[in-house]
Amino acid sequence: MKKKLRVTSFLMMGIFMLAACGNGESSTGSDTAEVPQKMVATATGELATLDSALYSDVTSSDAIGQIFEGLYRIDGKNNPELGLAESEPDVSEDGKTYTFKLREAVWSNGDAVTAEDFVYAFQKVVDPENGSPSSNQMDIFKNAAAIRNGEMALEELGVKAVDEKTLELTLENPITYLPKLLTGTPFFPQNKNFAGDQGQQYGTHSDKVVTNGPFTISKWNGTNLNWTFTKNPEYWDAENVKMEQIDVEVIKETSTGVNLFDSGDVQYTTLANEYAKQYQDSPDYHDQLKFLYGYVSYNEKREITGNVHLRRALSLAVDKEVFTNTVLNDGSQPLNGIIPAGYASNPETDEDFRAENGDFLAYDVEAAQAEWETAKKELGQTEIQLELLTSDTEASKKTGEFLQAQFEQNLPGLSISLRNVPLKNRLNLTEQGEFDMAFSTWTPDYEDPINFLEIYQSTGGLNTSGYVSEAYDQGINEVKSTLAIDPLKRWEKMLELEKLLIEQDAVITPIYQGAQAYLLAPEVKNLLVLPLGRTVSYRLVSIEE
């Protein structure tokens, strides 16, 4: 039977308990018209960008997802439903061409949303000059891969504006998950005229973006640790949006968030380590498993971390069960592959991907030390020093400290220094290749293993490791093209690719499949938590006493 997982967000929300105006008495009942529709949210990481073509982190994707909408949106049961598409598309007999009619909708500045806005945004993601981290997700469209590689002009992309309200999408091959995929952040439109005028400043702060989703954004200057979402009166479905205002504050320390929750100043905060255990019996406590995974990546362009035996040694040296039980203690699970449990199942047998492919490079000190000796011999060194880069959140710092202890204890002669920096800085450092090793987390955008695996295609925008494998690239291309019409062979190829990536080449060290423990006040109704990409949606939320 296919496994079902409850999932929650990297960023969840809480609400101030506000008194009703008038006679000074508190509102009663569940009539939302009598209760101020305002929320306060906490985030664990800073906002990096509002540009849907350039984001590479969950906090940015979450924010962008509140203020933009694509052809499809997510309904209250986490299924795709029509968004800016007025109706389901006309599909050609070969399943490759989709023709969408757009509904009447406008941007927050009053401009009409047009098919050209989609063409502009999709081309922006594919354009190799922009270096979009999401560029290879566009490979589903005709000629996208060739354009990314500089072999064809942008105008050849299989995304055309037939007229102002008609958008034609031409695929390389038929795919079954297109509606779900099109809910993703890289597939949002951008106001062509506004974004074009802003140039590189687009999305760098809240004044440099216009939106077409349920909310607008303000009070973010590009570096500060707070921002505000406000109901967008221009949104086509504004009558069904209850929330008027959502304030977001970045809280990096669990203790601070807990104190704010206990004092009534914040109604949502995430929990980790001792706090998760402390609050487990509280009626406000929740924990849910997600498809997020935490991992260590290696800079293969550097001599030491470019050594596969060193990477295997590091992977084998981590006791992931101890880590999830003692450091996180929030329901997260050890992970010995890149694909999380419960995420995808065999198209014929329904067996879970993780169960079918098994564990790779699981904790084994003896095997780790054997690989370590081989690495030292090949590198001609007896002692090695490396730096582990992490974000400066409490969870990331504690993870770094645990990994440092494991590596140094189990691999004698290895010295690990820690570098903790703000998320935006970590993203910049890894993108520029200025790191030895880096701890990161990542969440997929849609439910297909290729979304994880395609990251490490040599031309992938998120392949900060610099991994290059002709066999791996060829396999990814086959999964996206010739095998697309044969689900079982495609599945088998993806099993093979994960083994190549993790066991043979040890490109990354998967550490855990994430869960989120959190405290949430009961007044929040209809908050949709998402397993993929963006982690939460405010569109259907209301506040009830």
Q: What is the CATH number of the domain that holds 98?
A: 3.40.190.10
Please, what is the average pLDDT of the chain?
91
216 and 106 assigned to the same domain = yes
Beta bridge partners of 510: 295
d(CA 224, CA 369): 45
Q: How far apart are the first and last CA of the chain?
A: 40
Residue 98's contacts (CB-CB under 8 Å, 6 or more residues apart) are 89, 90, 91, 92, 168, 169, 170, 171, 178
Per residue in 181-230, pLDDT (tens digit) is 999 999 999 999 999 999 999 999 999 999 999 999 999 999 999 999 99
Beta bridge partners of 82: 72
304 and 222 assigned to the same domain = no
429 and 320 assigned to the same domain = yes
Cβ atoms 12, 520 nearer than 8 A = yes
Percentage of residues in the chain having pLDDT higher than 90: 76
Residue 390 lies in a domain: yes
236 and 295 assigned to the same domain = no
The pLDDT value recorded for residue 31 is 54
Residue 449 lies in a domain: yes
- Cβ-count burial of 2 within 10 angstroms (0-12 exposed, 13-18 middle, 19+ buried)? exposed
Chain-centroid distance of CA 57 in Å reads: 6
| Domain containing residue 169 | 13-251+521-543
3-class secondary structure, 315: helix
432 and 468 assigned to the same domain = yes
| Among 168-177, 234-243, 447-456, 474-483, the range of highest mean pLDDT | 234-243
The pLDDT value recorded for residue 32 is 60
Maximum Cα interatomic distance, the chain, rounded to a whole number of Å: 80
3-class secondary structure, 197: helix
Give the least confident one: 93-97, 268-272, 304-308.
268-272
480 and 418 assigned to the same domain = yes
Cβ atoms 397, 252 nearer than 8 A = no
d(CA 382, CA 67): 53
Residue 137's contacts (CB-CB under 8 Å, 6 or more residues apart) are 125, 181, 184, 186, 445, 451, 454
pTM: 0.83
Per residue in 282-317, pLDDT (tens digit) is 999 988 788 999 999 999 999 999 999 999 999 999
The pLDDT value recorded for residue 34 is 83
242 and 223 assigned to the same domain = yes
The pLDDT value recorded for residue 33 is 62
Among residues 384, 383, 389, the alpha carbon closest in space to that of 418 is found at 389
d(CA 413, CA 395): 27
Among residues 435, 471, 437, 441, the alpha carbon closest in space to that of 456 is found at 471
Residue 403 lies in a domain: yes
Is the sign of the CA dihedral 345, 351, 352, 355 positive or negative? negative
DSSP string, 30-77: S-GGGS--EEEEEESS------TTT--SHHHHHHHHHH---SEEE-TT
> What band does 402 get if pLDDT is binned at 50, 70 and 90?
very high
> What band does 24 get if pLDDT is binned at 50, 70 and 90?
very low
Helix (H) or strand (E) holding 495: helix 487-499
The pLDDT value recorded for residue 374 is 99
d(CA 299, CA 297): 7
Cβ atoms 302, 436 nearer than 8 A = yes
Strands (E), 348-476: 384-391, 414-421, 437-442
Beta bridge partners of 391: 421
**HSE on the CB side for 172, CA within 13 Å?**
21
Percentage of residues in the chain having pLDDT higher than 70: 94
Which amino acid is it at 409? Q
Question: Has residue 532 got a pLDDT over 80?
Answer: no
| Among 74-88, 168-182, 185-199, 521-535, the range of highest mean pLDDT | 185-199
Among residues 214, 252, 284, 331, the alpha carbon closest in space to that of 15 is found at 284
59 and 193 assigned to the same domain = yes
- Cβ-count burial of 150 within 10 angstroms (0-12 exposed, 13-18 middle, 19+ buried)? exposed
Query: How many residues are recorded in the chain?
Result: 545
Beta bridge partners of 100: 167
Q: Is 78 left (phi over 0), alpha (psi -120 to 50) or beta?
A: left
d(CA 457, CA 469): 8
Per residue in 145-174, pLDDT (tens digit) is 999 999 999 999 999 999 999 999 999 999
Rg (CA), the chain: 23
Residue 182's contacts (CB-CB under 8 Å, 6 or more residues apart) are 70, 71, 72, 80
The pLDDT value recorded for residue 17 is 31
DSSP letter (8 states) at residue 502:
I
428 and 391 assigned to the same domain = yes
Cβ atoms 267, 15 nearer than 8 A = yes
DSSP letter (8 states) at residue 191:
-
Cβ atoms 414, 386 nearer than 8 A = yes
Residue 43 lies in a domain: yes
Q: State how many domains the chain has.
A: 2
Among residues 56, 18, 62, the alpha carbon closest in space to that of 42 is found at 62
Q: What is the rounded average pLDDT of the residues 409-428?
A: 96
Q: What is the rounded average pLDDT of the residues 418-440?
A: 96
367 and 244 assigned to the same domain = no
Q: And the tokens for 113?
A: 């949303």
387 and 528 assigned to the same domain = no
Give the CATH number for residue 355. 3.10.105.10
112 and 242 assigned to the same domain = yes
